[in-house]
């Protein structure tokens, strides 16, 4: 009986050790998946960076709303509406076009994940395959504005029901600005000329 008891004790000891080791391994994986202090944020759906969640995850704070000479300005096309919300989604714009179409202005600190990552995210949202650096250069159109050089991209989905995204990316004064219009292909096409004029009017100036 004493031999059996010793074997049981040894078995329980080994099982406890394995459980502890597996627990530590799971914790290592959790921290490796969502590291604290992560830099370089890619935009996700809804034009906001991914937010870490779960126990021990690092929260990504919203950037301070740019003000004064650091705030991006534009001239709103005739008939367009807008609402200023501040934070990452700096403004929501509504083109004067019937149908499913909306424009937004998003601001993020630093490089915000890089141009290629954001462009491929937008392509993925309308069912297009990702592109590489060479494809990025071919798709990019440069627009000179008072806010500096703006990279403009225009993508349309395939299939019967087409979606379209037109977006401008401006990097200035430590922030990256995304001015994007999305929706059904027809309404986006109808609002394209106004949207390009809006991009051309981008500037930084003190509102006071």
For the chain, the straight-line distance linking the first and the last C-alpha, in angstroms and rounded, comes to 90
What's residue 206's pLDDT?
Answer: 58
Q: What confidence score (pLDDT) does residue 85 get?
A: 81
| Helix, strand or coil, per DSSP, at residue 78 | coil
Tell whether pTM > 0.85.
no
User: What is the reported pLDDT for 205?
Assistant: 77
CA distances 76 to 73, 80, 152, 165, Å, are: 9, 6, 18, 19
pLDDT at position 113? 85
How many Cβ atoms sit within 10 Å of the Cβ of residue 41? 23
Return the CATH class of domain 68-204: alpha beta
pLDDT on residue 154: 98
In tens digits, what is the pLDDT along the chain, a chain of 208 residues?
A: 444 444 444 444 444 444 444 444 443 333 333 333 332 223 333 334 433 333 333 444 556 667 677 789 999 999 999 998 877 899 999 999 999 999 999 999 888 889 999 999 999 999 999 999 999 999 999 999 999 999 999 999 988 889 999 999 999 888 899 999 999 999 999 999 999 999 999 998 754 4
Strand spans (E) along the chain:
72-73, 81-84, 89-94, 101-109, 141-145, 148-156, 163-172, 175-184, 203-204
104-121 per-residue burial string, b: 16 or more CB within 10 A, e: under 16: bbbbbbebbbebbebbbb
Q: Identify the pLDDT of residue 64.
A: 61
Give the burial string for 45-66 (b: 16+ CB within 10 Å, else e). Answer: eebbbeeeeeeeeeeeebbeeb
> Domain limits of the chain?
68-204
30 is written with which tokens? Answer: 């959790």
Long-range CB contacts (within 8 A, 24+) of 189-195: 189/164, 190/97, 190/99, 190/101, 191/95, 191/96, 191/97, 191/101, 191/103, 192/166, 194/77, 194/78, 194/80, 194/95, 194/96, 195/77, 195/95, 195/103, 195/166
């Amino acid at each position: 009986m004493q031999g059996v008891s010793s074997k049981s004790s040894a078995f329980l000891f080994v099982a406890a050790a394995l459980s502890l080791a597996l627990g530590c391994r799971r914790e290592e994986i959790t921290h490796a998946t969502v590291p604290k202090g992560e830099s370089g944020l890619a935009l996700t759906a809804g034009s906001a960076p991914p937010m870490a969640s779960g126990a021990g995850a690092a929260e990504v704070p919203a950037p301070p709303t740019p003000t004064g000479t650091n705030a991006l300005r534009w001239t709103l096309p005739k008939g367009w509406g807008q609402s200023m919300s501040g934070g990452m989604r700096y403004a929501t714009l509504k083109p004067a076009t019937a149908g499913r179409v909306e424009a937004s202005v998003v601001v993020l600190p630093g490089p915000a994940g890089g141009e290629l990552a954001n462009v491929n995210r937008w392509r993925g949202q309308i069912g297009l395959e990702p592109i590489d650096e060479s494809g990025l250069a071919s798709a990019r159109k440069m627009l000179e504005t008072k806010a500096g050089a703006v990279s403009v991209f225009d993508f349309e989905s395939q299939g019967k029901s087409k979606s379209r995204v037109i977006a401008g990316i401006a990097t200035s004064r430590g922030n990256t600005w995304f001015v994007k219009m999305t929706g059904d292909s027809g309404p986006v096409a109808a609002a394209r000329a106004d949207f390009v004029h809006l991009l051309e009017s981008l500037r930084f100036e003190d509102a006071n």
